[in-house]
A and B are shown apart, each in its own frame.
Chain A
Amino acid sequence: MSKFSDAARARSYRLERGLTGTTGVLALLAGAAAVVVGMGLLGEFRAQRPVADPIALDFLRQYPEVTKGVAIALGVLLFVLGLRWAFRSLRVELRPDLVLDRTAGNGLRVVSGAVAEAVRSDAEGIDGVAKARVRLVGDEQHPALRIRLSLTDGAEVRAVWQELDKVLGNAKSCLGVAELPTAVHLELATVERQRVQ
């Protein structure tokens, strides 16, 4: 298990989960703070003060330029970060081509679909594999294979592995790459599908 093969398992949700969770924590803390103030746990006087406290507003009015400047800067920052966040969440995974020759004026690349299709047809030839789905993920600097194998009931996992290792070895030697990080997901004991005649 390497860093790249591990990353190839599925689309990463780290950013989405992290930001949603952080927003949740902030909202929880803000709400809890307001509840605590409202219950008078920070003093009855504080609980009876208006939400838009005149003391705080007067303080802001003393420094109008600073208040406005900070508010505008904060607004622009939130706007930019919010848009970036939204677009990052919508982004789909890349299907990078495999670049075999990077010398200038001499580019040689195998399109993503061709590699995937070759590995898929080889993998489906393995005894015990009912169906294979293969795609290239990552980026052009670090391409990786994602393979999803549906095994028939009773298929020997270790035997499938050995065969799969050969398939991957073949693919690597055909493409002339030293290593190709691979994430394999096995669906065990799937019922073999009936082919439509």
Chain B
Amino acid sequence: MTGYKQVPGLVEVREAFGETTLVVEREQLRAAALHLRDELGFNYLADIAGADYLGWSGEVAGSWGSAEGRDLNLPYTLGAAPAPEPKPKRFSLSYHLLALRDEPVRLRLQTWLDDGETAPSAVEIWPAADWLEREVYDLMGIVFDGHPNLVRLLTPDDWEGHPLRKDYPVGGEPVRFSEEV
């Protein structure tokens, strides 16, 4: 815990479910990643996961309740269930790091972005980030500055929209030839 004090742009260190999450400012992400790799030995990038928190504590489809995030249906709470903690921005970007050594350490490096904001690319720091960042760009629409080849990875090159965003409808993908009907 104390070892993370020196990380550039550090916002908070969170411990939950036995996992450590390091939240850093978006502008300092590159410096923080370099610090973690070179000073603290996080040499292995296991995964990059983006998440869209649009409508996180408000009204969403399903049984989730009112705009305050209270759910009258939640058993035994009489509608007083605590709302999930609001998130600072719309998107989170989580880098799951691993210090691959005799005493392994795992860490989640997290940063927050709004729609239209970009993140610095980590390809030069961990080459594994190449396809992982392309996947996040493809499905979540987060642009990585300085990525040498940022094109779609899983969906076709001419695909419209980013499927894992919360405002992307299920079953709403454009169907070929439908305009002719």
The answer to whether A and B interact is: no
